[in-house]
Amino acid sequence: MEKLAATSPAGVLLDLSGVLILLLAFACLGSKLFNRYVAYYGAQSVVLSFAAGVAAWTFHSVELWILAVLTLAIKGIGIPVATRRLLLRRLALARDSAISIGLSTSLIVGGALTAFAYLVTRPQLLPHGVVAAAVVPLSTAVILLGALEMVVRRHTVAQLIGWLIVENGVFLGAITLVATFPFIVEAGIFLDVAAGVLIMVVFVSGLTRQLAEASTTELRGLRG
């Protein structure tokens, strides 16, 4: 465990990855092109798989190497390619116009949420001995930013990306528990995410075929 202290090279690399993942979540929040959403999400997943690789290298764990490769293959390559092919290109999506608050306002709110994440998960609140404690507030902030993205964007595809960012944030938190988090659980989470994206893609394309544009602003039939 002490191999991942904040001063060790592995700990520094892990912290650096956490910061990069947070920055990419901000980048996604500050963009209004569907292509960019997917690109930033893909990059975020690649950094996440790098972080998993660092942890695997530190702990010499075969299971973690498998997880790192799975992250790269499914989240870094599979999901971005599938979203581009099945949603963006087929439905000819380019600019996201269904944004409820301005980009700069959402960035400011995002900054406030990041500060809040640090407030809630101050290292001194966490018990001693947590590996790479700096990653915990970072992952909390990424979760909040993803949720913010889901709230301020009304388009179904943007909400899908927001959920995936939340999921990446949780996974970043889980990596710091590498030594003890059971492999079956992590693999199951992967399976859920992949299946979730598949079923959401089916719904989004079905909805788009029926409505002119699958924007949740038009999803107003069910109320009360």
Partner 1 sequence: MTVLAILIVAGPLAGPAAALLRARARAAGVALAAGGLVSLAAAITLLAMLVHHPPLTGGDGFLYVDALSGFFLITVAGVTALAAFGSIAYLSAEEDAGALSSFQVRLYFAFFGLFASLMLASLETGNLGLLFVLIEASTLASAALVGLEGKARSLEAAWKYVIISSLGVTIALAGTLFLFYAGSALHLASNQRLTWPYLLAHAAVLAPQPVRLAFLLAVVGYGTKVGLAPMHTWLPDAHAEAPSPASAMLSAALLNTGMYAIIRFLAITQARLGAAFPRAVLLTFGFASVVIGVLFMVRRGNFKRLFAYSSVEHMGIIAVALGFGGVLGLYGALLHTLNHAIAKAVLFLDSGDVALRYRTREAAGVRGLLVAVPVTGGALLFGSLAVLGSPPFGLFLSELTIVRAGFARSSPILPLLLLGLLAVAFIAFARTTAGMVTGSAASPAAPASPDGSAAPASPATPGAPVDPYRGRGARWAAAVPLAAGLVALLVLGLWIPAGLNTAILHSLAVIR
Longest CA–CA separation in the chain, Å: 56
When asked if residue 119 is in the footprint of partner 1 (CB under 8 A), the reply is: no
Residues between 47 and 76 with contacts to partner 1, criterion CB under 8 A: none
Q: Which residues of 135-174 are buried (b: 16+ CB within 10 A; e: fewer)?
A: bbbbbbbbbbbbbbbbebbbbbbbbbbbbbbbbbbebbbb
Choosing from 32, 109, 147, 213, the residue that interacts with partner 1 (CB under 8 A) is 147
DSSP 123-169: GGGSPTT-TTTTHHHHHHHHHHHHHHHHHHB-BHHHHHHHHHHHHHH
How many residues are listed for the chain in this entry? 224
Residues between 162 and 181 with contacts to partner 1, criterion CB under 8 A: 163, 166-167, 169-170, 173-174, 177, 179-181
When asked if residue 159 is in the footprint of partner 1 (CB under 8 A), the reply is: yes
When asked if residue 215 is in the footprint of partner 1 (CB under 8 A), the reply is: no
Residues that bind partner 1 (CB under 8 A): 120-121, 125-130, 136, 140, 143, 147, 150, 156, 159-160, 163, 166-167, 169-170, 173-174, 177, 179-182, 184-186, 188-189, 191-192, 195-196, 199-200, 202-204, 206-207, 210-211, 219, 221-222, 224
